[in-house]
Structure 1
Amino acid sequence: MIDPLAEVVALLQPGAQFSKVVSGAGPWRVRRSEAGQPFYCVILDGSCRLAVDGHAPITLEQGDFALIPSAYGFAMSSLDLATSAELDTTPVELLHGEFRLGISNVPHDVLLLLGHCTFGSPDSALLVSLLPQLVHVRGEKRLTTIVQLVGEESRERRPARDGILARLLEVLLIEALRSTTGTAASPGLVRGLADNRLAAAIRQMHEHPTKPWTVAQLAKEAALSRSAFFERFNRAVGVAPMEYLLAWRMAMAKNLLRRSEGGIADIAQRVGYSSASTFSVAFTRHVGVPPTTYVREQTELQ
């Protein structure tokens, strides 16, 4: 059985950028808004506060894992933060590659493992839009272990480092996303897969992307009426069923075109189009350029 979540993460092509250990003491606050910089953190000791734009602030405790997959502004701070903006600080590097926030030369109140990863896919914006805006997982030791392995591997220059990191990050993202409470997640693929009725339809779209699906057929797979399915899918996933199917077919097509896996007609059939011409029209409307132009542009970037 095809796993839609694993497919999306694999197409994202996650890579490691950096990770670091940060300790905090006294009042401190940092704010970040790096576009395209997926952020994750593990609370190794103590607690702190995380405020993501558009979400209520949450308290992170020892063992918690947080992931912000996309370009959302966020702030992290001590629990006893005053309101003054003067507290915004830059981490100070200490010995052994650790960084300190707030007061130095005192025992820490919180110890964090922070990191950024990158998504190598040109479709990352499209694919990330299918994920929750914020992932917060509590009490999952597996995640802490995986993140520690990512940190160790990123700091050392051992053979096959990049390949190991890519696979560790795929596992990290999948583990984090599937550990999210489905009904509490923001709209996206994770929340859709948490709904057994919708999951049945989503898996059919991924297992049989070439089938000429209609909303009525997908509703039947979900054992729902057409109107109930459409509304439920829209609310959970954040897009209409056929919009999701189109986005997935186009992501598959762009991946096949980049890898030169067949001609236009062959790729058209592999992503659910009866002819090269109908595929080219749909691709041009969705991507902005014809498939042949897209292939040429990708070749020039390599």
Structure 2
Amino acid sequence: MVDPLAEVVSLLQPTAPFSKRVIASAPWAVRRSETGRPFYFVVLEGACRLTVENAEDEDTMTLTEGDFVLIPAARAFSTSSLDRLPPAADEAITSPLTPIPGGVRVGDPEAPVTVRMLVGHCVFGSQDATLLVPLLPRWVHVRGEQRLATLVQLVGDEARAQRPARDIVLARLLEVLLIEALRSTGSSAPSPGLLRGLSDPKLALALHRIHEQTAQPWNVAQLASAAGMSRSAFFEAFGRAVGMPPMEYLLTWRMALAKRWLRQGEQAISEIADRVGYRSVSAFGVAFTRHVGMPPGRYAALH
């Protein structure tokens, strides 16, 4: 059986080559504005508060030892000690920063340390990341998973040590941690996306069909039948869980596959069109151009 999450993660090509140690002494607060890059936190010791901002509202969570958080497309977020409010939007760095080997110390450098973290940017190697990231939740927060706890402990041990090839080992451990966090979230995903859809047994049936038989000329009624639901109930439940209508999800996935195969240059456009469910090259060309912004032939030539 095809695993939709594995396919999406495989296309995203997540890596975690950039990390730094952060230690902090209360009270402290730091706010950052990002440019859509994925960001992660691993809490090695202590606790802190994380506030993730978005266009509609903001989500604040308390992070404790062993927690892992991934923000697939960070825009703005803040971290702070538990004894103060998150920094306001017009605040940038509100606490002293002192460089330390491999990272930074936040707050009074003479005060007791209250939290230790490993933070950094992830990299999605795929050129289709802009298509695929919307299939992920706004943020992923994992707690209480034994496998994650073991990985966090290994990451912490490696981050504190000065062993040969430390950076390479740390990057590989973080890659595994990213994937494990995504598949561990399931129904606890805080916002719509593929993870929440897969956690619903009925919707998962339809999602698996889409990924197993992408070339099929699916419509909403057929996908609803695969899920064992009425058309209206399926349409509503899919949009609520995944964050987009079923046919938009199907189109997004088809275009991501088409772009990958066009870049590889090993198949004719007619063959790619057939593999992603289009019975004519012209119909595929119209859909691809509308979705990507250029015809498939030109896209292949540029890549």
- With the length of structure 1 as denominator, give the TM-score of the two structures: 0.89
Distance, in Å, in 2 between the alignment partners of 1:23 and 1:159 is 19
Pair 1:80 & 2:83 matched: yes
- Check whether the contact 1:36–1:70 (CA below 8 A) recurs between aligned residues: yes
Distance, in Å, in 2 between the alignment partners of 1:159 and 1:18 is 13
Q: 3-state SS of the aligned residue for 1:17?
A: coil
Tell me which amino acid in the other structure corresponds to 2:195: V
Aligned pairs (5 A) from 1:1-302:
1-53=1-53, 54-81=57-84, 85=91, 88-89=94-95, 91-94=97-100, 96-146=101-151, 152=158, 158=165, 161=168, 165=171, 168=173, 170-298=175-303
Distance, in Å, in 1 between the alignment partners of 2:164 and 2:274 is 43
Distance, in Å, in 1 between the alignment partners of 2:164 and 2:11 is 26
Tell me which amino acid in the other structure corresponds to 2:183: R
Q: Which moved more, 1:111-120 or 1:186-195?
A: 111-120
Distance, in Å, in 2 between the alignment partners of 1:16 and 1:192 is 26
- Check whether the contact 2:186–2:198 (CA below 8 A) recurs between aligned residues: no
The 1:86–1:168 alpha-carbon spacing in structure 2 relative to 1, beyond 3 Å, is closer
The 1:3–1:157 alpha-carbon spacing in structure 2 relative to 1, beyond 3 Å, is farther
Q: Which moved more, 1:195-204 or 1:273-282?
A: 273-282
Q: Write out per-residue CA displacement over residues 23-55 of structure 1, whole angstroms, 9 at most, x where no aligned residue.
A: 110211111221132111111111000001133
The 1:135–1:109 alpha-carbon spacing in structure 2 relative to 1, beyond 3 Å, is same
Q: 3-state SS of the aligned residue for 1:250?
A: helix
Q: Write out per-residue CA displacement over residues 175-229 of structure 1, whole angstroms, 9 at most, x where no aligned residue.
A: 1122225155200100100111000000100000001111011000110000000
Q: Write out per-residue CA displacement over residues 259-278 of structure 1, whole angstroms, 9 at most, x where no aligned residue.
A: 11211011111111112221
Q: Write out per-residue CA displacement over residues 44-89 of structure 1, whole angstroms, 9 at most, x where no aligned residue.
A: 1110000011333111111111111113311001111266848624
Tell me which amino acid in the other structure corresponds to 2:299: Y
- Check whether the contact 2:44–2:153 (CA below 8 A) recurs between aligned residues: no
Distance, in Å, in 1 between the alignment partners of 2:198 and 2:281 is 32
The 1:160–1:282 alpha-carbon spacing in structure 2 relative to 1, beyond 3 Å, is farther
- Check whether the contact 2:96–2:108 (CA below 8 A) recurs between aligned residues: no
Distance, in Å, in 2 between the alignment partners of 1:150 and 1:273 is 46
Tell me which amino acid in the other structure corresponds to 1:259: Q
Identity of aligned residues (%): 57
The 1:81–1:252 alpha-carbon spacing in structure 2 relative to 1, beyond 3 Å, is same
Distance, in Å, in 2 between the alignment partners of 1:100 and 1:33 is 19
Q: Write out per-residue CA displacement over residues 103-153 of structure 1, whole angstroms, 9 at most, x where no aligned residue.
A: 102320011111211112222122110100011111224324445666849
Q: 3-state SS of the aligned residue for 1:8?
A: helix
- Check whether the contact 1:31–1:75 (CA below 8 A) recurs between aligned residues: yes
The 1:107–1:159 alpha-carbon spacing in structure 2 relative to 1, beyond 3 Å, is closer
- Check whether the contact 2:22–2:117 (CA below 8 A) recurs between aligned residues: yes
- Check whether the contact 1:9–1:173 (CA below 8 A) recurs between aligned residues: no
- Check whether the contact 1:5–1:174 (CA below 8 A) recurs between aligned residues: no
Gaps spanning 5+ residues in structure 2: where?
A: none
Tell me which amino acid in the other structure corresponds to 1:4: P
Aligned-residue Cα RMSD (Å) equals 2.5
Tell me which amino acid in the other structure corresponds to 2:277: G
The 1:181–1:285 alpha-carbon spacing in structure 2 relative to 1, beyond 3 Å, is closer
Gaps spanning 5+ residues in structure 1: where?
A: none
The 1:119–1:156 alpha-carbon spacing in structure 2 relative to 1, beyond 3 Å, is farther
Q: Which moved more, 1:103-112 or 1:198-207?
A: 103-112
